[in-house]
Amino acid sequence: MSTLTTQTFDETGNDLTLTAASSGDNFANTGKEFLIITNNDTAAKTVTVTAQDTSFDDPSFGVSVKQDQSVSVSANGGVAAMGPFPTRAFNDTNNNVQITYSAVTSLEIAVVKQ
């Protein structure tokens, strides 16, 4: 498992550095972060962000359920983006978001925020 470093960008842009995914990554989450994922393998990969607080009761809505969020990243150069991730639903006790992968071969990831 690796803790991913958040990269920032603004209107002038930024050359992002993608890191090889490891079996279970995490990142510090303020609710403004996005994931950028590339897949250079010959098979599609699923990336899942784990919901930590999955049920809450709101007087306006009643009981609501928050599920893990997943995206399938297509093979052979596929690119996907996910986020942002509301802190109450996705942060663990260390204020990190947990990421899992169906496989990590040729999968790269970056955490970005403005």
CATH number reported for the structural domain that contains residue 109 in this entry: 2.60.290
Region label for 76, one of left (φ > 0), alpha (ψ between -120 and 50) or beta (otherwise): left
The overall average pLDDT reported for the chain is 95
* Domain hosting residue 83, numbered range: 2-113
Three-class SS of residue 6?
A: strand
Strands 62-65 and 78-82: unpaired
pTM (two decimals): 0.92
Each residue's pLDDT tens digit, 68-80: 999 999 999 999 9
Number of domains in the chain: 1
Each residue's pLDDT tens digit, 4-21: 999 999 999 989 999 999
